[in-house]
Chains A and B, each alone.
Chain A
Amino acid sequence: MLTGNLLWVLIGAILLGIAAGLNGTFAFLQKQSLVGDAAAHAALPGIAIAYLVTQQKDLPILMLGAAITSALAVYMIQWIVGNSKLKADAAIGFVLSVFFGIGIVLLTIVNQSGTGNQSGLNDFIFGKAATMAKSDLVWLSSSALLIILMCLLFFKEWKLMIFDPIFAKGIGLPVERLRILLTALTVLTIVTGIQAVGVILMAAMLIIPAAAARFWSNHLGVILVTSAFFGALSGALGTIISSVRTGLSTGPIIVLCAASLFVISYFFAPTRGFIAKSLKKKAFKQRNVVKEAANHE
């Protein structure tokens, strides 16, 4: 059943899931999850521009275009928040929807330009991992490997930067540059995943595994491993399901697999999960009732 191409797709999806799980955890802890959403939506105009300029649909070129507009969107959010009284949520929503609108405008132009219909740019909206070409998958996998490597390399520095930025500065870490590096890596993660998962749901790959993993532990190392595992599992499951049943886009299936893992974590995780918490609350109440009764006597 595992034909050559499907095996490649599976490897790509797993690597992408691990990369997004690791990187997403850092973004999550910096409370930057929705910035990732904006960056993912903003990839669309970049893809269209890259195609319009070069008339080619080689993945590296489209990825480069996507990276430029995504990074521009992130920068614009920071610029607007820094230079006006608008809050982050308004800036994110504004940048996200305007960039996506421009993306739709450009995509319409591409689709009308004759050859555009065959360019398959529409697939970038929801993703088509199961039909990716092998050369594209090589790109995806190497990019994902690079992200994983960087996350492991900068683990200690980022940990310090997130939990105690003042101390980090004090011992001479270039905090600003580390933060920019993390943002750049987030953009790279998004760009890596857009062809497989699509621009709208790529953000979910960053957010959901990290949010689910947070329920399982208070240690960054454990959260990272769990998040990477969840990402890989949902990537693999989603790819298999969407390749067995043709006609389904990969993106939504991967996201739903991740969402199921999240629901399981939300309810059943030890100590931080919903059931564990309710039980603890109940026990606490009972103890207090007993104590109060004892006091009355």
Chain B
Amino acid sequence: MNEFWVLLTGSLVGITCGLTGVFLILRKTAMIADAISHTVLFGIVVAFMVTQSLSGFWMLVGAAIAGLLTTFLVQLLQSGGLQEDAAIGVVFTSLFALGVLFITLFAGNVHLDVEHVLMGEIAFVPWDTWDILGFSMPKAVWMLLIVLVFNLLFLVFFYKEMKLTTFDPVFALSIGLPIVAMHYSYMTLVSLTTVAAFDSVGAVLVVAMLIGPAATAYLMSKSVIGMIVWSMAFGVMAAITGYYLAKLWNTSIAGMMAAMIGVLFMLVFLFKPHDGWIWKVFKRMKIKDTEPNIL
């Protein structure tokens, strides 16, 4: 039964992050997600310092605020004349350092240490349960399900608008779509996804899960819907294979899942028919072979 919960949690992380990550890749904001996954730590610590509790609700609130703050600060520095990559780099390293400092200063003796935040402990997920409406499921599963519903609702209602603001922001602006509000609400969703997932798999795997499957799906599909389906599938595949390999070698489950995301990406990148690297190399060799005949 415990194994079932761990696998379910991993798969839910894969599905939720896979879904959210697609628009990160398409909007070229992958590194902002990386930044948010680091600064979420800061939000959680501040939420803990204010409320003195580690309840899931306040963690979500703190994370959402931290995510918005990150997005806002990056935007502010950019409008202040700093290039984007440096703005992201300055904001997230500073907030992350602040979060680490706060943890060591104020929260050292509670269940909130930095290593847990970074690497998560998915193996402990089944023991921390919540009872809601008579169902008893692990807390992580509940949080992931709630965030998944948020994400699905957002995409169902604003799918068209998201597509338009992503691919043609100028046109979207001209017909009166609130592109700034869209950007901020999407980034809020990214932060919520991050905090729901990081409790079980850690901040670093969240980045891997947000970016990796969606990037792999980007190579696989040419339509947004196709990309979403592939992305979720890759997320689940990485979660399940990563779990069993980690069990086999007795090592970090979250780390192994991230490694499997890398393996899946490399498989597609190298071997995909027509677009894969190896395919391209062969094509190039063929052209070289036929060249003398043309001349």
Contact B215 A94 (CB under 8 A): yes
- The residue in chain A whose Cβ has the minimal distance to the Cβ of B207 is A97
A83 in contact with B254 given A97-B205, A105-B259, A204-B89 (CB within 8 Å): no
Which residues does chain A contribute within 8 Å of B100, judged by CB atoms? Answer: 126, 249, 251-252
At the interface with chain A, which of B145-153, B174-182, B245-253? B245-253
B258 at the interface (CB under 8 A from A): yes
- The residue in chain B whose Cβ has the minimal distance to the Cβ of A273 is B80
Which residues does chain B contribute within 8 Å of A32, judged by CB atoms? Answer: 85
Which residues does chain A contribute within 8 Å of B74, judged by CB atoms? Answer: none
Cβ of B194 to closest chain A Cβ, rounded Å: 12
A80 at the interface (CB under 8 A from B): yes
Contact B254 A104 (CB under 8 A): yes
Which residues does chain A contribute within 8 Å of B249, judged by CB atoms? Answer: 105, 109
Cβ of B102 to closest chain A Cβ, rounded Å: 10
Contact A34 B31 (CB under 8 A): yes
Considering residues B34, B89, B249, B275, which has the most beta carbons from chain A within 10 angstroms of its beta carbon? B89
Roughly how many angstroms separate A253 CA and B93 CA in the complex, as a whole number? Answer: 11
A62 at the interface (CB under 8 A from B): no
A207 in contact with B80 given A90-B25, A94-B212 (CB within 8 Å): no
A128 at the interface (CB under 8 A from B): no
Cβ of B213 to closest chain A Cβ, rounded Å: 10
Roughly how many angstroms separate A247 CA and B204 CA in the complex, as a whole number? Answer: 24
Which residues does chain B contribute within 8 Å of A83, judged by CB atoms? Answer: 269, 277, 280
Interface residue tally of chain B, by bracket? Answer: 35 or more
Contact B28 A208 (CB under 8 A): no
Contact B94 A108 (CB under 8 A): no
Contact A105 B85 (CB under 8 A): no
Within 8 A of A (CB), among B214-268: 214-215, 218-219, 246, 249-252, 254-259, 261-262, 265
Roughly how many angstroms separate A84 CA and B257 CA in the complex, as a whole number? Answer: 23
Contact A256 B97 (CB under 8 A): yes
Contact A105 B94 (CB under 8 A): no
Contact A214 B82 (CB under 8 A): yes
Interface of B is mostly: helix
Neighbour of B81 across the interface among A108, A251, A272, CB < 8 A = A272
Cβ of A11 to closest chain B Cβ, rounded Å: 23
Roughly how many angstroms separate A92 CA and B97 CA in the complex, as a whole number? Answer: 21
Roughly how many angstroms separate A87 CA and B30 CA in the complex, as a whole number? Answer: 9
Interface size, chain A (Cβ < 8 Å): 62
- The residue in chain A whose Cβ has the minimal distance to the Cβ of B281 is A83
Within 8 A of A (CB), among B41-86: 77, 80-83, 85-86
B185 at the interface (CB under 8 A from A): no
Neighbour of B89 across the interface among A34, A122, A125, A247, CB < 8 A = A34
B29 at the interface (CB under 8 A from A): yes
A126 in contact with B93 given A85-B219, A105-B252 (CB within 8 Å): no
Contact A93 B34 (CB under 8 A): yes
Which residues does chain B contribute within 8 Å of A210, judged by CB atoms? Answer: 86
Within 8 A of A (CB), among B111-165: 114-115, 118-119
Neighbour of A252 across the interface among B31, B97, B269, B280, CB < 8 A = B97
Cβ of B223 to closest chain A Cβ, rounded Å: 14
Known: A84-B269, A98-B262. 19 other contacts (CB 8 A): A86-B218, A90-B25, A97-B205, A97-B207, A97-B261, A99-B262, A101-B259, A101-B261, A104-B118, A104-B204, A105-B256, A107-B252, A108-B255, A201-B93, A201-B97, A248-B105, A256-B94, A256-B97, A259-B98
Q: Which 4 A-B pairs have the closest CB atoms?
A: A101-B258, A104-B255, A204-B93, A98-B262
Query: Which A positions have Cβ atoms within 8 angstroms of B?
Result: 28, 31-34, 36-37, 80, 83-87, 89-94, 96-109, 112, 122, 125-126, 200-201, 203-204, 207-208, 210-211, 214-215, 247-249, 251-253, 255-256, 258-259, 262, 266, 272, 274, 277
